[in-house]
Chain A
Amino acid sequence: MKNTISARVADFLKQFPPFNEMYAEDLHNLSQEVHIIYKIKDSIIFEEEAEPHDYFYVVHRGAVVLQKKTGNDIVDLCDEGDIFGLRPLMASENYKLQAKAFEESILYSIPIAIFKPYTQKYEGVANFLIESFASNTRNPYSKIYRGKLLGETLKTPTQTPEGLLDLQHVHYSKKPVTSTEDTSIKEIAQTMTQKKVGAMLIVKNKLPVGIITDKDIRNKIASGEFPITAKAKAIMSSPVITYPQKMTIAQAQMAMMKSGISHLCLTKDGTQNTPAMGILSKHDVMLELGNNPAVLMKAIQRSNKFKSIKVIRRQVTSLLKGYLNQNIPMTLTSSIISELTHACTKRVIEIVIENMQNSPPVKFAWLAMGSQGRSEQLLQTDQDNALLFDTVSENELQSTRTYFLELAKQVNQALRTIGYEYCPAEMMASNQEWCLSLSEWKDRTSHWITNPGQNEVLLSSIFFDYDLAYGDSSLVDALTSHIFKQTASYPIFYMHLAGGALRNPSPTGFFRGFLVEEDGAHKDFFDVKRRALMPLIDGARVLTLSHQIKSINNTARRFERLAELEPNNEPIFSACSYATKALLKFRTKQGLLHNDSGRFIALNMLTKEEKIKLKRTFKVIKELQELIKLRFKVNAMIG
């Protein structure tokens, strides 16, 4: 019996190979037999060497990581529409890889016994499965890649599947931008600028007849050889060098080197006599090879879909992993990663604005709060953001807010799509408490500063580290000046903020042992954020605020600035700066290891050296807290 759910399953499957080869009726019958499985993050679907299941799997939502248990090396990351666990279909042997939910995921399991007849019925289905089984599909994270991208020689080349690069199919722009021979050069240049591409394919009856690249426009038009009114035919390179669609990275690199060109035209059968299927640029190959920040940055700016930003964001994480493994200085690492993260947010907002029916009614600014505002967020964690729009008249306030709330809602959703979870406390711009006009923000911050209760202090400490992620900087400057003016006239606020900074629980107990969490999901783990990083972050904030230091948000940099301003306290502030960086690196490494925020550390997994390093930072924290206590006379207040 066909029902709502099976119809929905079929609708999903038919978008992806090999299911797109099947007739609707067969697909509907197959969809009836599917199980929909929900997996929380990090749960195992099957273990390496486990007995084969009676099913293979399709990822419906989320992502699944396939890896070898030893070495923790990721072999493949399966996204929406990808299939995995095919081994039982092909061979009666145990799984060779472990499959684990990389994110919270919904999977469709497809019973092999029922699916098998279709592999005989449809040749395309069988071929696709054999091919994906043999090639083990894409692999952006493997060791072999990491080695390549960071120019590091592989230490254990025998452990990685050989010839992987040869098996990797390249991903190319599937909808090539095309024009006809009699289009004017001006028009072509405009389209290329608008679509942000470096080459335009010239087609005749759908067949590729020529190609025009940026270089042609420079060499033939700008040089004066041809007038700008010339037609495409006059300057295009012809005939086009064509290749078959299914190219591996290695082949593509070879082809570009051989003919000294930067764009390959891919056609259905590899000749000029079949329609063009796509264009492969040097940039695509670079992106495929992973990782150089400039290539990633360009890819972010070029992307038009949230899903492609999601893929790039993951590559940023693998870049981060590489940097940490190579011990590249934390300051440099965090500034590169923060830049890329910022670019992702910015691009998301741009896309949302393009999709909105109307353009923003007034100037606005998207603010990153908390760790993102401090540029200390190297991993993908929860969203913390707010929106600030220009002051409008009373009767326009409602409609203006409605517009920005809708914009914020879409941005929050898109950020979630690219991997940033919603803030559990709903501190997000789509919450009307955090989507205010400039005058409302001024009132609100004034209220916090003049009525510093526990909640107000908490809110200030989260909000005051805001940073402009997108939009108009004059609004932000206006708000910042307001806050500095207010705090200067209510010095008692510093005392409360300092009190808040001292309220974090101590990292060590009486005998200098680590204090671990006593219950809950993280029982016996050490909370590095709350017990070690927060005291430093909170301390730096109140000190910089009292010094009226503007526009430095990063905690380590705040301490550096404080060290300059107070030469007598230079040793302690420099130590704090160092400790912040060390802890941040610690947290990031732990986070990458466990694919989480890195906040909770399993102490028994640490080496002795690491434990000593951690404890050394605690001493600094204690000294900082003493200094704050004395300077802001907090004792008198807490009593």
Chain B
Amino acid sequence: MGFLKKLFRKGQKHYPEFWSVYQNAFERQQAHDLNAIRFVVFDTETTGLDIEKDRILSIGALSLQNESIAVKQSFEVFLYQHFYHADNIAIHGILEEESKPRITELEALCLFLNFIENAILVAHHAGFDRAMINQALKRHGLPKLKNKFLDTSTLYKQTLIDSPLLQRQEHYALDDLAEKFDITTVDRHTALGDAYITAIAFLNILGKLKGKRGFSVKKLLN
């Protein structure tokens, strides 16, 4: 075992500086008080839904703490695209020619990790965004994200009342949530815009869950 550990530690040295900074952030203890916990709500816009083949076009993220979002601490990056599906423009409305300053995937990952630190990550259908980021990390020889994740689509289902009269849907899209919580969808399909919708939905959901019997921060995070 000692040998393995040593090997592992040795391997670590090959990781770039930003990865060890990110990793060190996890040595700090996560707060237990809900209002002290830092959440990062994020969304990725991608060229498609295939985790292996498709690429990230942009990442948007917001920092949320004590039921408050600091506008200044929002994160929005656009990535260079080498291959492009024309079909996706229709979904995401991101045009290649658009004059946003662009950065490389590695730069984007570096900035993103630096932004999220050890925060609890929140996303809608989080599994997908997590897999996209992890896949990108893998392409650069980096390990997976270490953060805890919360998925607003699952959390939302927990807020629904238990009634034989309510027909539950299998999946709730971000648009469903925006409609339920009356959130404006002007910026829908931009990464930061979707992250904002997710953040407001998340705050709504938290408010509802807190009133439910047996709610605890520990349960929420596990």
Chain A interfacial positions (CB closer than 8 Å to B): 3-6, 8-9, 31-40, 61, 104, 106, 109, 413, 416-417, 422, 424-427, 433, 454-455, 458-459, 519-521
* Nearest CB of A to B56, in Å: 17
Contact in complex: A38, B187 (CB < 8 Å): no
> Is B95 an interface position by the 8 A CB rule?
no
Q: Which of B164, B196, B200, B207 contacts A455 (CB 8 A)?
A: B164
* Nearest CB of B to A430, in Å: 10
Which residues of A have CB within 8 Å of B186?
A: 8
> Is B54 an interface position by the 8 A CB rule?
no
Which residues of B have CB within 8 Å of A38?
A: 67-69, 200, 203-204, 207
In angstroms, Cα B182 to Cα A413, docked, is 8
**A4-B192, A4-B196, A459-B165 are known contacts. Are A39 and B67 too (CB-CB below 8 A)?**
yes
> Is B218 an interface position by the 8 A CB rule?
no
Chain A to chain B: the 8 pairs with minimum beta-carbon distance, closest first: A40-B207, A38-B203, A521-B211, A520-B213, A36-B69, A4-B192, A37-B68, A425-B166
Q: Interface size class for chain B?
A: 20 to 34
Question: Which residue from chain B places its CB closest to the CB of A11 in the assembled complex?
Answer: B186
Q: Which of B72, B167, B180 contacts A33 (CB 8 A)?
A: B72
* Nearest CB of B to A24, in Å: 16
Contact in complex: B160, A424 (CB < 8 Å): yes
Which residues of A have CB within 8 Å of B90?
A: none
* Nearest CB of A to B152, in Å: 14
> Is B29 an interface position by the 8 A CB rule?
no
Which residues of B have CB within 8 Å of A454?
A: 164
* Nearest CB of A to B44, in Å: 15
Which residues of B have CB within 8 Å of A32?
A: 71-72
Which residues of B have CB within 8 Å of A422?
A: 180
Interface residues of B in 73-104 (CB under 8 A from A): 74, 76
Q: List 11 A-B contacts (CB under 8 A).
A: A3-B76, A5-B69, A35-B70, A36-B69, A37-B68, A38-B203, A40-B207, A104-B204, A425-B165, A458-B165, A519-B213
Which residues of A have CB within 8 Å of B167?
A: 426, 433
Question: Which residue from chain B places its CB closest to the CB of A7 in the assembled complex?
Answer: B187
* Nearest CB of A to B70, in Å: 5
Which residues of B have CB within 8 Å of A417?
A: 182
* Nearest CB of B to A435, in Å: 14
Contact in complex: B68, A424 (CB < 8 Å): no
Most chain B CB neighbours (cut-off 10 Å) among A34, A413, A425: A425
Which residues of A have CB within 8 Å of B204?
A: 38, 104
Known: A4-B190, A61-B182, A455-B164. 13 other contacts (CB 8 A): A5-B71, A5-B196, A6-B74, A32-B71, A35-B69, A35-B70, A37-B67, A38-B207, A40-B207, A424-B160, A425-B163, A426-B165, A458-B164
Interface string of B43-68 (1 = CB under 8 A from A): 00000000000000000101000011
In angstroms, Cα B213 to Cα A519, docked, is 6
In angstroms, Cα B203 to Cα A9, docked, is 18
